Structure 1
Amino acid sequence: MGLRISGGTARGREILARKGPDTRPTSAKSRSGLFDILRPRMAGSRWLDLYAGNGTIGLEALSRGADYVVFAERHRDACRMITTNVAKLGFGEQTFLWCGEVLKLLSQYQAEPFDIAFFDPPWGTDNYRDTLRWLTERNLVRPDGLIIAEHRKEDLPQAVVGDWQRIRTADYGDTHSSFYPIQGDHTAVPDDEAEPQDGEAEPEQD
């Protein structure tokens, strides 16, 4: 299975992807909508891509102007795909891969906090609550940053965790993305998605 990066410097480049019970690549529709919302935040940003699968979200972020991405994924086959995809797109010096339990990384991480933390755990698990708790209690995201949870409609995560509050949930069909800024800052996420820039129409999946 192949996917293509939908925007930025690597737009149209194909990456490896595998769909299985524990890895579910984010759809083209979801990625396009998500990064339209995040466009004002992308330049120079530091990302944390949790339950990263094949790394699609983090790679898309790098293509669109992010400065650095930490991937966390526990399945070794998926870790190998991330390594291959990072090398293929030439982002090796801008990434770090943690191949192990995601919550263990969150409990141990000591470096600079992130601008954006994105997480998409296997659907039907209890990992949403624990992931939000670790991200917020350990201050892993900057005060002006953003936490984003991808989930099914029926798995809507809690509305408030510490000082962070869910202010918006974007609907992309089967997939939804919930946005958490600190103190429920409604200016942190635009009300409407930006229009795609010229030359950034969504490439078709193979």
Structure 2
Amino acid sequence: MKRGEKRSSKSSVTVSSKPSGTVRIISGRFRGRKLPVLDVQGLRPTTDKNREMLFSWLMPYTLDARCLDAFAGSGGLGFEALSRYGKSCTFIELHKNAAKQVAENIQLLDLSAQQAQIIQGDTLETLNHLSQAYELIFLDPPFNQNLLPQTIQRIDKNGLLSIDGVIYIECEGQGVSYSVPGNWQLIKEKRSTQILARVYQRNS
């Protein structure tokens, strides 16, 4: 889902400023809704199959959760969480047109400012200015940009993951190295040659 100007978001070069596809919400109150997705180089919405797997993992943690979709791209993960009765979601996206499309999709779903907000800007910089902790965080950064170490460090340093909160991390299946704080416990993992997907929970 991503690519970046300052090398910390999901998208880089817009091939077109018009929607060229859709992302389908799988379950919940917006089940079956299709949201427009821009044709942006490097933007790779998580597949239906992977989102279904992920949200089966996250079922105990989504209800009433304050969510952060830190490299939003299409916003598919954040919108799926809101559909499954997450309390709110903050989306961060560097690419201007992709962020605008997320904003339009927020309106399309008739979500209030308290339920969903989009921040257009550099993820690493934005993480230094967020003022609340989140129960559910999605980290699906651009591949091949080595963004995870700094992103994880800033989330931990700024206390952005609440106690008992969960964080989903998706990255390349091979050649990626990152570490997490000692109080983040790995609770789910799926590995393939293309993708490594993990869910951690922060212990007290």
Cα shift readout 1:74-125 (whole Å, capped 9, x = no counterpart): 0001101101111111123311111000011111112x21001111111011
Aligned counterparts of 1:157 and 1:30: Cα–Cα separation in 2: 22
* Partner AA of 2:188 in structure 1: R
Q: 1:152: how far off? A: 1.9
Partner of 1:99: 120
Partner of 1:135: 155
**Which structure has the higher relative contact order (CA within 8 Å, separation 6+)?**
1
* Residue of structure 2 aligned with 1:150, choices 145, 170, 173: 170
Identity of aligned residues (%): 29
Aligned counterparts of 1:6 and 1:166: Cα–Cα separation in 2: 25
Partner of 1:36: 56
Q: Is the 8 A contact 2:141 2:147 kept in 1?
A: yes
Partner of 1:181: 201
- Describe the shift of the 1:82–1:32 C-alpha distance in structure 2 as closer, same or farther (beyond 3 A): same
Q: 1:46: how far off? A: 0.5
* Residue of structure 2 aligned with 1:20, choices 35, 40, 53: 40
What SS class does the counterpart of residue 62 from structure 1 fall into? helix
Partner of 1:5: 25
Point out where structure 1 has 5 or more consecutive residues left out of the alignment.
Answer: 186-206
- Describe the shift of the 1:18–1:141 C-alpha distance in structure 2 as closer, same or farther (beyond 3 A): same
Point out where structure 2 has 5 or more consecutive residues left out of the alignment.
Answer: 1-20
> Aligned Cα RMSD in Å?
1.9
Partner of 2:70: 50
Aligned counterparts of 2:94 and 2:167: Cα–Cα separation in 1: 20
Aligned counterparts of 1:52 and 1:91: Cα–Cα separation in 2: 17
Cα shift readout 1:3-36 (whole Å, capped 9, x = no counterpart): 2110001010110113533321111111100001
Q: 1:167: how far off? A: 4.4
* Partner AA of 1:24 in structure 2: R
Q: Going by fraction, where is helix more abundant, 1 or 2?
A: 1
Select between 166-175 and 114-123 the one with higher mean Cα deviation: 166-175
Q: 1:162: how far off? A: 4.6
Q: 1:138: how far off? A: 1.1
Q: TM-score with structure 1 length normalisation?
A: 0.82
Cα shift readout 1:39-74 (whole Å, capped 9, x = no counterpart): 111111110001100111100100011010000000
* Partner AA of 1:17 in structure 2: V
Partner of 2:183: 163
Q: 1:181: how far off? A: 1.7
Aligned counterparts of 1:173 and 1:137: Cα–Cα separation in 2: 31
Alignment coverage as a number of residue pairs: 183
* Partner AA of 1:72 in structure 2: I
* Residue of structure 1 aligned with 2:84, choices 64, 69, 85: 64
Select between 87-96 and 97-106 the one with higher mean Cα deviation: 87-96
Q: 1:159: how far off? A: 4.1
Partner of 2:18: none
What SS class does the counterpart of residue 148 from structure 1 fall into? strand
